Structures are given as C-alpha cells and as structure tokens.
Chain A
Amino acid sequence: RKPNDRNDDCFNQHVCDIIESEFDFEYNLSLFDKAAVFEEINSQLPNEG
C-alpha cells in the first residue's frame, strides 16, 4: 500500500465522529489473538538449532 493511502485512512476523518464515541479497546483486542499469531510466526521462522 502507498503511504498516502495509509495517511488518508488515518487522518481524513471528521473530528465530530471521533469525539462522539469512545474507542472500544476490548472489542478490538478480541480481533487479534496475539498468542496464535506469534505461534504462526514462530512456526515460519527458520530453526536455529
């Protein structure tokens, strides 16, 4: 992805939309299973044994 697309994603929202609600930390954390993702990364690493 181009950096500009990323910046648009990040910075082009209306301030009102942001202020009106609280960010839902718990819901978003539930979308990322850190342990499982790390296990997958580990399984793809070359074994340095």
Chain B
Amino acid sequence: FMKKNLSDPYEVNLMDELTLKGVTQYYAFVQERQKVHCLNTLFSKLQINQSIIFCNSSQRVELLAKKITELGYSCYYIHAKMAQGHRNKVFHDFRAGMCRNLVCTDLFTRGIDIQAVNVVINFDFPKMAETYLHRIGRSGRYGHLGVAINLITYDDRFSLHKIEQELGTQISPIPRTIDKALYVAEFHQEPDSDDD
C-alpha cells in the first residue's frame, strides 16, 4: 500500500521520539481494593510538583477524581467522553499550574510535555507498550527527570512482562524511600564538568 501510493515517503517513527531516559520507573504490588490507599500514601510521601494519574476507562477517571477530592487533595480530570473544548480548557489550566493533580485516560498522543510534571502514576497499568510509552515517555525536548509509579495487580503480570520486554526497560520495585534527586528539581545535582 505504501509503495503504491507514496512516492519517496519520509518515514517518521514517533516511538523513537519518546524517551524513557531520565524517568525512574517503579512498581508497587497491590490488590484492586488497595489502590486508593496506596495512592493516598504516595501523595503523602512524594514531593509532587505536579502529577498525572492515568486510569484505563473514563468511568474510573471520574470515580477516582471524586475519591481524591474526598481525601482532601485537589485534582482536575479529563477523559475522552468530555467535549473537546472543555478538555482543552482543563488541560490549559493544569498546564498553567492552577491545580496540582490531573486524573485522565489516554489522551496524550505524543507523551507529556509539561515540565512541571515530575510524578506520573499509572493507577491502572496499560496493556500495550505503546500506551505505556505515551504515558511515561518524554519527548526529546523535555526529556528530564521524573518518577513513574505503576500500581500492579496480579492480573497485570502479563502486561508488565510484555511491556518491559518490548520497550527493553526495567520497572523496579518501589524502594522504602525514593531519592529526591531522581525527581525533584531543587535536589537534582547536575554532574560537575569543571572542577573549582
């Protein structure tokens, strides 16, 4: 099809433009009913500048956003079933820093390009490597430090295995304490190139 219809095509692989470099990836093992508890503890322990929390369905986005609000954290939410205009407004306001947390489904087709987001949480683990990369990956321009935390249930074991294999990446068990240098800008030490 390509050969017949395109003359001298310029092939672009968007997967190549997204990188997991600079993003430290962890998983926490949970049961479905422990996820909200786990998330609440993460909120209290992590130094979040801005966070994005991904769910696998629009309904779960709404349920989770409601729960997060009950827990006393502010959050915005967007999902595919909302009108585009409304979505754009919410995303614009989030980008402008008007709210710390955003709960959403897979709306980002080219990775997250918001500098202020230093924590991404997969409340629901995706099934496809491409989805994972779009959620966690950064485009080259903004490839910078951040931490991704995946809530993994026993049912997610095959997806976890597949995604690690396909992306050639490693998702490690979450340590007792997460080094702030990995995701908090003020704590990040650039390697010294000159000695003085």
Binding site for B on A (CB under 8 A): 3, 6-7, 9-11, 13, 15, 17-19, 21-23, 25-26, 28-29, 31-32, 34, 37-38, 41
Contacts and interface: CB of A to CB of B under 8 A. Distances in A.
A10 B41 contact: no
State the main secondary structure of chain B at its contact with A: helix
A31 B29 contact: yes
Given A31-B29, A41-B157, A23 B63 contact: no
State the main secondary structure of chain A at its contact with B: helix
A11 B37 CA distance: 10
Contacts of B154: 32
B174 A10 contact: no
Nearest to A15: B70
Interface string B32-49: 111111101110100000
Contacts, number: 72
B157 A10 contact: no
Contact of A22 (B41, B60, B72): B41
13 contacts: A10-B36, A11-B36, A11-B63, A11-B64, A17-B37, A21-B37, A22-B44, A23-B42, A28-B29, A29-B174, A31-B29, A32-B29, A41-B157
Contacts of A25: 28, 38, 41, 174, 176
Contacts of B30: 23, 28
A34 B173 contact: yes
A9 B31 CA distance: 9
A23 B112 CA distance: 28
Nearest to A3: B57
A18 B37 contact: yes
A3 to B, nearest CB: 7
